[in-house]
Structure 1
Amino acid sequence: MKEDFLHYLWKFKKFETLHLKTTQNEPVTIIRTGDYLESSGPDFFNAQIIIGNQKWAGNVEIHLKSSDWYIHGHERDVAYENVILHVVWEHDTEIFRGNNTEIPVLVLRDYISAEIINNYNSLVAPKSWISCEKQIAGIDEFVFKNWQERLFFERLERKSKFILDVLQETSQDWEAVLFCLLAKNFGLNTNGNTFLQIARSIPFSIIRKESFEKENLEALLFGSSGLLDPEKEDVYFMDLKIRYFYLSNKYQLIKTYTDPLEFFKHRPDNFPTIRLAQLAALYHKHQNLFSKIIELKSVGKVYELLTVSAGPYWQNHYQFDKESRKKPKVLSKAFIDLIILNTVIPLQFAYAQKRGELIFENLIDFMKEAAPEKNSIIDKFASFGLTSKSAFDTQVLLQLKNEYCNQKACLKCAVGIELLKNK
């Protein structure tokens, strides 16, 4: 038995409500269960309850055992002075407020049917992957659609927190925020944090000034990453090294430590050298990139804007001093799809949020146009009958799996609640 199950029972009144009594044998009538806020303080606020012949307005606290009140130190917390009813599964001790007045206790287990408990145990029992894998595809379409939208925006809220943190670091410079966000996502999972360190080590005002020379941008990025530290005979390498020496002195750049870049785990097209060169090419091609990205409304326009190629040297190189077969190093559509998911949409959401604008429908339409992701989680959901037609669908399923299924948070999930209700 978990406390969140008791929260569910109380919130939705999934118990016999006609003949409730406290442990002191006083009749209880619930007028209003209260607001479930899931924050610090009592579990349900602004409840209205008649106990005996007295009507009370206040808060309700829920525990597995009465003694949890003291284990959690509520008797010393003024936030719990206005608790009018203590709802528990097991009553093992009397409870008193800080002023020594006794708090009425309702033992919920005395009013719960065996069927509800069995249904709950069936839902949360250990399964091979997720608890509702056999039922999830049959959930009411209206319920699931509304839940999808909430999951989608929960995921955007999480991503936007990083963006808003960087906005504060950069003194509200949205162009600098975009540069950091793009750098992180150009580095993918393996080199993302190192690319972010590189971006943070170069004031964006310098990127603005030097964006008219692609080689200067490459020199700044490669030099800050440490890739220009060794000695090499490569002519282009030496040119970038000279440029970086000049630029670092011109702008008084302080060399900062960055984590080593990872080559081994990547295909050549994802080598950090290629991604840094492409990032330099993007900022050389587009000045005021933020204003262009924030206006994008379709996937096709994103492809047009972000289709860039690394400079001429990189057409037959993946690393310095190692010539390879000639191949254009253009940002692929698959890579741009990742940028849409992790940069364009979260940035537009955070920007609108900061300005107090509502663009929810626009973002959903945008994501429904984007290609679905391909990974083992999405494949597994497909095997249960939940196929993904767009990036909107896949982002929703990733949020569902990571934040609800993996946490066994069935009673905070619309799917879990619907299954319990139907049973």
Structure 2
Amino acid sequence: MSHPSTTNTTYWQQVRIAVSGTSAIKILRELPFILIINVICTVLVTYVMRHSSSLLENWVFSNCIGFCCYILIRTARILIWPNQNPKTLAFYLTCIVLAPIGFFCGTLLAAFLYGYPVQNVLAMQWRYVQGFVILSGVVSTVAAWSLWNRIRITELTAAAEAEKARSAAIERQAMQAQLQVLQAQIEPHMLFNTLANLQGLIALDPERAQHMLAQLITYLRATLSASRAKSTTLQNEFSLLRAYLDLLAIRMGKRLQYQLDLPAELAQMSIPPMLLQPLAENAIKHGLEPKLEGGSLHISAARHADKLELRVADTGLGLAFDYAERSTNAADGHGLGNNNIRERLQAIFGPQAAFSLGPNTPDGTVAIITLPLSTQTPEKL
């Protein structure tokens, strides 16, 4: 059983939270609606109920009564239901009960503003009390219903925004997990081959083996940083590519020639991490390495209007004639890596990004990624 003082403390904490949530901006947003309701009441009192006072005086009385009802209803909502939405029927009954009180308080306030004797005003209003109370009750109920709907719409919108933010966070986590899976698919093949080469070089050429080990450490450090980042710059991506290609050049020797072209004005462009490395690996593994004399690899970035174009072109064996069919069910990493890139681009950029793979001239393969030109990557990243 909870202690009464603890219950009271919790209740007033809830009330304090509810009051703090009732910001001036929220009240100002409701102000035009209340004024419109008060104008309607003024017209009804003046031209339908035929009240003898002037239009201006009726407008002042309507505003005083209307705002008194509004303040009472909002206060009651905070005090009775501080931490939850009230039941519809209970809320309407509260409005009906508070309407006569708001009418009485508003009448006294208007009489005070005009300097009228209170007893005279009340005596005059008493002749119309039934109509005024009914009007106040109906108007308060209608206004409460409208405000109720506005509050519910606001709450539902806020809930939808929160759900959207939660979905975006989950999507970002999924993209990060996908990147880590992609790295897990990429790194073992290259790592085992490099370590096997290191084992042979240590006895034959220790100096070259030491250089290869230094390049491996540089590459692994760069990939570790990329795996922890939501985005990277083209400069960092090209640095990672250089470390990777330097490492492979030690193993392949003159069979691998490469060129990296990154214009200075594009160096700080943000892109998803590890976007080009899988393409470079595919080009070497499936194009250059199987070719007896090897070949060259050219990786470049260029701006075309409002698009960023990234190209990975090799002079290797080229695409197989049945590549499109084989890539759908590929288990060797070629189609898998390309499919991963397509899925990442679709998830991050949607239809604004494109990926294509085709024959290079005069021989080999060229992969082209097209991204929207921006200094920032999307929030999904």
TM over 0.5: no
TM bucket (normalised to shorter chain) is under 0.3
The TM-score, its normalising length taken from structure 2, stands at 0.26
Higher radius of gyration, 1 or 2: 2
The TM-score, its normalising length taken from structure 1, stands at 0.24
